[in-house]
Structure 1
Amino acid sequence: MTDGQVPRVPQVPKSVLARGAALLRACGEAEGAQSLAELALRTGLPKPTAHRLLGELVRLGLVERGTDGRYRIGLALFVLGQSAPSARELRDIALPFLGDLYEATGENVHLAVPDGPDTLFLAKLTGRRATPIVSRTGGRLPAHCTATGKVFLAHDPRPPCVSLPRLTPRTLVLPGQLARDLARTRARGFGVNLEEAEIGISAVAAPVYAHERRPVAAISVTGGTRRLDMERVGARVCAAARALTRALSA
C-alpha cells in the first residue's frame, strides 16, 4: 500500500475518456512518480495504449513526465482540481476549525468526505509535534478501517461491501464485527479507528452536517495509539465538528 491507497484488481475502462481518467487517477493516488509498466498494471490497460494516452496527457499539461521516464500529476490538473467549488468552499470554511483542533491536540487533523467505498481526505494539518502517518491531502483509504469512514458508514443505510480488504491484523473485515462497531459509532457520536489502517496509529472522527440528514464530511484527529486519549480527543473533535456544522448551516 502506498499513500493510503489499497491496490485493487482494475476493471479495464472501455472509452478513451474513461481510460484517460483511469490513468489520471492512478497517477494521483500513487506515492511518487510511476513508470509506464506500473500505471498499466494499476489501470489494466495494455502498455501501448497507456503510453499513447499518457503522451496526450503530458501534452495537455495534465501529467508530467520526468527525465527518468516516470509519470506524475501535472500542475494544470492540480490547478483544475483546486477550482472544484463544493470541495474548495467546504475546505475553506473548515480550515479555521481544523487549525484550532491541531493547536489543541498537536496531532494530525483531517477533513474527509465519502467517496464510494473510500474516505477521501480534502485537507490535512500536521506539524513537527504530530505522529508521522501515511495519509495525505487528496489521498483515500477504505472507509471500514478509518475513523472518518466509519462515521459515513454508520449513517449509510446500505450495508458495507461484503469483501473488505485487511490492512492490518486489527482491521474489521467480518460484517458482524463491523456492524457492531458502527452501532457503537452511532451511539457515542464519533468513530474510532484502533490501528485498523496502520499499526501503532489510531484516530477519532466526528460527523459534519450541512442541510442533509447524513454527514457531508467528517473531522478527525490521528496519532500514535499510546499518545491519543480517545475520550478527551473525542470530545474536542465532536465540538469542532458541531462548530463546523453550525458554520455550514448559517
Structure 2
Amino acid sequence: MRDVGASGAVAAPDGEDGDRQFVTALARGLQVLRAFRDAAETLGNREIAARTGLPKPTVSRLTHTLLTLGYLVHDDGERYGLGPAVLALSAAFLRQNSFPQLARPHLQDLATAVQAHVALGLLDGVHSVYIQLWRGAGQTITLSREVGFHLPLARSVMGMAMLAGMEEGERGAMIERLRRDSPAEDRPRLDATIARCLREVEEHGFCVGVGVWHRDINAVAAPVHSPGARGLFAVNVSGPAFLLTETVLRTDTGPKLLAAMARMRALGIVD
C-alpha cells in the first residue's frame, strides 16, 4: 500500500511523469489512503499533507471525497480513519487469493507452538504489509501490531526474507532502490544485513533478526511461494528479545517455522 522515501513522505506513484494514461487525481487519492500506517490510526489533513507531500488544500478536497465515498471515516474532531469501503477491498483481495485462508490453521498452530506473534506479510513497494496475524493460544506477552501494519524492507527480517524470495533481477533492482533511499551512513549496515540474511535463507531456509527493526524485538522469517497466489509473501515470527534470544530463534523457532512450511508444502499450499 505505502511507498515511503527516506524523508518519511509517501512517494509519488511510478509512471506519473510523461504517461498520458496516468490519472493523477486518482493516484493522489490513493496516496492519501496509503498515508495511514495501520487500520486504527487517525490523521488530520495537516498530517496527511506532511506524509504525502501534497498541498493541504488538495488533501482537504481528497479527504472530503474519500469520506463521501466511504473510504474514510470522520471522528468527533478533525481527524480521519480508514473506512468500511477499504475493508471491502481487503475482503475482495482475500476472496481472490485463497492462500492466506489456507495457511491460517497452520500458522495459528505455529503461533501456539512458539508462543509468539506469527505474521503473514505481502510485498508492498519498499515495505511488507501484515495481511494476517496470529498470537499463540494462552500467549501472555503481546506486541501492539495489527493487520495492515507496515514494515520497511530495509529494516526488518521479514523484508530480508522477501528479498531472498525474489528472482535475481528483481532482487538486484530492489536492493539498489533500498540503498538509494537509505542515508549513506546506514548503507554498510544494510549491505551486511542483506548479505547475511540471503546466505541464511539459502543455507537454512530462514533468516534471523536480532534487533534489526527494534532493539527489544527479535524475529525469524522465511519467504513463501504459493502456487497461484498473487504477490510475494513471507512468514515472520517475532517476540520480545529476552524470550526469543538468538539461540532460541536458531535452534527452536526457526526449525518450527520450517516444519509448519513443510506441512503446508505436503498439502500443496506452498511450493
The answer (yes or no) to whether the contact 2:179–2:187 under 8 Å persists in 1 is no
Q: 2:129 aligns with which of 116, 120, 130?
A: 120
**Aligned residue-pair number:** 241
Q: Does 1:146 align with 2:152?
A: no
Structure 1 residue aligned with 2:93: 84
RMSD between aligned alpha carbons?
A: 2.8
2:77 paired with 1:68: yes
Deviations 1:174-194, CA, capped at 9 Å, x for gaps: 424422332123211101111
- TM-score (norm: length of structure 1): 0.84
Segments of 4+ in structure 1 off by > 3 A? 9-14, 28-31, 85-88, 163-166, 170-174
| Mapping 1:147-166, distance limit 5 Å | 147-156=157-166, 157=168, 158-159=171-172, 160=175, 161-163=178-180, 165=182
In structure 2, stretches of 5+ residues that fail to align are 17-23
Match of 2:234 among 211, 214, 218: 218
CA distance in 2: counterparts of 1:164 and 1:132, whole angstroms? 31
Task: State the alpha-carbon separation in 2 of the partners of residues 172 and 131 from structure 1.
Answer: 34
- Equivalents in 2 of 1:109, 1:178: separation in Å? 22
Assess if the C-alpha contact under 8 Å between 1:40 and 1:46 holds in 2.
Answer: yes
Rounded to whole Å, the distance in 2 between the matches of 1:112 and 1:102 is 15
Secondary structure at 2:118's aligned position in 1? strand
1:113–1:121 contact (8 Å) kept in structure 2: yes
8 Å CA contact retained: 1:109, 1:222: yes
TM value normalised by structure 2:
0.78
2:258 corresponds to 1:238: yes
- Partners of 2:262 and 2:6 in 1: how far apart? 31
Corresponding residue of 2:197: 181
Q: Tell me the CA shift for residue 218 of structure 1.
A: 2.1
Q: Which moved more, 1:138-147 or 1:123-132?
A: 123-132
Residue 172 and residue 153 in structure 1: after superposition, are their counterparts in 2 closer, same or farther (change >3 A)?
farther
Report the equivalent of 2:21: none
- Aligned 8 A contact 1:112 1:218 in 2: yes
Q: Which deviates more, 185-194 or 42-51?
A: 185-194
- What are the equivalent positions in structure 2 for 1:35-74 lying under 5 Å apart? 35-74=44-83
Q: 1:117 to 1:10 in 2, by over 3 A?
A: closer
Structure 1 unaligned spans of 5+: none
